[in-house]
Chains A and B, each alone.
Chain A
Amino acid sequence: MFSKSKKASSYQLVSRKVPYLFISPWIIGFLVFTLGPLAFSLVMSFFDWPITNAPTFIGIDNYKNMFTADPQFYKSLWITLKFAAIFVPLNLVIALILALLITQPVKGMKFFRTIFYLPAVVSGVAISIIWGWIFNSEYGILNYILSLIGIDGPRWLIDPKWAILTIVIASAWGVGTMMLIFYTDIKGIPAEIYEAAAIDGASPLRQFISITIPSISPTILFNVITSVIAALQQLTLVLLLTGGGPLKSTYFYGLYVFNNAFKHHHLGYASANAWFMFIIILVLTMIIFKSSSTWVFYENEVKKEGKKKK
């Protein structure tokens, strides 16, 4: 008894420092690799900061130039929003359809799950090479197949009208991650709910709308947010597949910032660009979160009911 209380009190003594010891790697990393750079980037955005000469403080001129004197800023922003507007819903719908398919009670689902996820483990470099070869307007297999059924395929990567769509198609190839998130969530919905609905005569479509969608709505929210953020930051595929061309039709915002920094060496200006993107991400995330209270259904109620039944 005595030793027990002694141990307990000595535990109280060490425990005040011990938790901080455990999390100290992250705290150090956070300061050195995240907060420090973040603050420094904000400071830089108020400077004219060429790579060779000394930086000069110019107040909000970078932001002013960005909004008033740089047409490429608006063009890149518009292209990126257009990409996100196509990519996010498309990705979401495909992921959901795939997840529904592989939760069907038929044979071979594990096999299909593996196939659908496979491209998600492949690097952006490989994806750009693979799709670049398929979309190649001279030797590409896609246009050859299209020609067999009488369609004169567009010059995918060379035609400004089609280039953005090729990037959407190549990006959507990695939809497996999102599919898997939906999949595990749909599998988690108690089967009794569907059985009860089926007894009441609800059609599969009705069950999908009234049971599946509300149950997975928090996951839909999560996937919407993460894919909006990912779409706004898309860079690797653009850099490797089109390099921003043709005629800057795929000069995404990420590429715009990247080139301003590492090609044109306007470090201060690029920092201002990047901060603007950060703010857009914050605002979009907040809007999505705010709106979520009207359409996201948190499943505490369902869970409680499900548990009672068990």
Chain B
Amino acid sequence: MKLSKKHKIIIYGLLGLFSLYFLLPFVWVILSALKTQAEVFGFPPKIFPKVPQWHNFVDAWNSQPFGTYLMNSVIVTVMTTLGQLISCSLVAYGFARYDFKYKNILFVLLLATMMIPWDVTMIPLYMEFNMFGWINTLKPLIVPAFFGSAYYIFLLRQFLMNIPKDMENAARIDGANEFQIFFKIFVPIMKAPLILIAVLNILSVWNDYLGPLIFLQDQSKYTLALGLAAFKGVHTLQILPIMSITLVMIVPPVVVFLFAQKYIVEGTSGAIK
């Protein structure tokens, strides 16, 4: 299919317009973060800083325990990703490769949990974690991940359904037990969807604000998202540090996305069907 020149101009015009909406806010934040205090509040606004103030990043970083926040974010992100990979692959394998009593009911239940609004469970969960003595620790953010997440299980199961049954039957005849079959045959096959759910989990946990907001109290336990929001809440007019830390916070997910784009694009297809 070839397009006429007129069509091409229209398409590129639209692409350009939309790009402004998606890209300019990032550019403006970067430019703002590099200005001096006078420049950032000046009128009329100058687009470029006269001299880029790279030290803004260092100043901002040192003004609050952002190092601690970063460490907490990293711990939560790494641990939950580990938990999701282990639990979701086991559960998805169980649903995809076996027939058992109540399987369909259980699977529908699993899908149905995706519709439960967060508002309904947040209060009892808070009380439950309080009872466990987990409030103001990272545990409420980490432990549930070791019990799987409906959407990731669903994604993995869709993938596993498409693999012929001969795989495990051949291995069974060779004397492999069920967990050997899972680890030695299926885990390697699942590499691409496992990377996908790792990426999705990294993005959602790194960016999570509400979980940390409810379960954490001391600054020393804050994640980066919560720490940044709290800083912004107190120092509304400290635009330079706010912009600098925002940029720092954006970098990891953007990098992860750029590297894993292929998995996200491919994983999105067929997820719904």
Contacts and interface: CB of A to CB of B under 8 A. Distances in A.
A123 B247 CA distance: 11
A118 B26 contact: yes
B253 A267 contact: no
B38 interface: no
A141 B207 CA distance: 26
Interface of B: 1-3, 8, 11-12, 14-15, 18-19, 21-23, 25-26, 28-29, 32, 40-41, 43-45, 86-87, 90-91, 93-95, 98-100, 103, 106, 109-110, 113, 115-125, 127-128, 144, 146-148, 153, 172-173, 175, 177-178, 182, 203, 206-210, 214, 225-226, 228-229, 232, 239, 242-243, 246, 249-250, 253-254, 256-258, 261, 264-266, 268-273
Contacts of B182: 22
Interface string A241-273: 000000000000010011001100001001101
A277 B261 contact: no
B92 to A, nearest CB: 9
B207 A125 contact: yes
Nearest to B110: A26
B124 A257 contact: no
Output the residue of B43, B261, B272 with the most chain A CB within 10 A: B272
B28 A122 contact: no
Interface of A: 4, 7-8, 11, 14-16, 18-23, 25-30, 32-34, 36-38, 40-41, 44, 97-98, 101-102, 104-106, 108, 112-119, 121-126, 128-131, 133-134, 139, 141, 144, 173, 176, 180-181, 183-185, 187-188, 191, 194-195, 198, 218-219, 222, 229, 232-233, 235-236, 239-240, 254, 257-258, 261-262, 267, 270-271, 273-275, 277-278, 281-282, 285
Contacts of A271: 120, 123-124
Contact of A23 (B94, B116, B178, B209): B94
Given A106-B12, A125-B226, A125-B246, 10 more contacts: A7-B175, A8-B173, A26-B110, A29-B146, A40-B127, A113-B265, A116-B18, A129-B243, A271-B123, A281-B115
B98 A18 contact: yes
A33 to B, nearest CB: 5
B19 A118 contact: no
Q: Which of A16, A36, A119 has the most CB of B within 10 A?
A: A119
A139 B45 contact: yes
7 contacts: A26-B91, A106-B12, A114-B258, A114-B261, A123-B249, A218-B272, A267-B127
Contact of B250 (A11, A14, A122): A122
Ranked nearest first, the 7 interchain pairs of A and B with the lowest CB-CB distance are A29-B147, A22-B94, A123-B207, A184-B269, A37-B124, A19-B98, A23-B94
Contacts of A218: 272-273
Contact of A126 (B115, B128, B175, B249): B249
B119 A23 contact: no
B98 A126 contact: no
A25 B148 contact: yes
Contacts of A267: 123, 127
Given A123-B249, A262-B214, A282-B115, A36 B128 contact: yes
The residue in A15, A25, A119, A185 that gathers the most chain B C-beta atoms within 10 A of its C-beta is A25
B269 A30 contact: no
A25 B90 contact: yes
Contacts of B22: 115-116, 118-119, 173, 176
B119 A257 contact: yes
Nearest to A22: B94
Contacts of B249: 123, 125-126
A300 to B, nearest CB: 11
B199 to A, nearest CB: 9
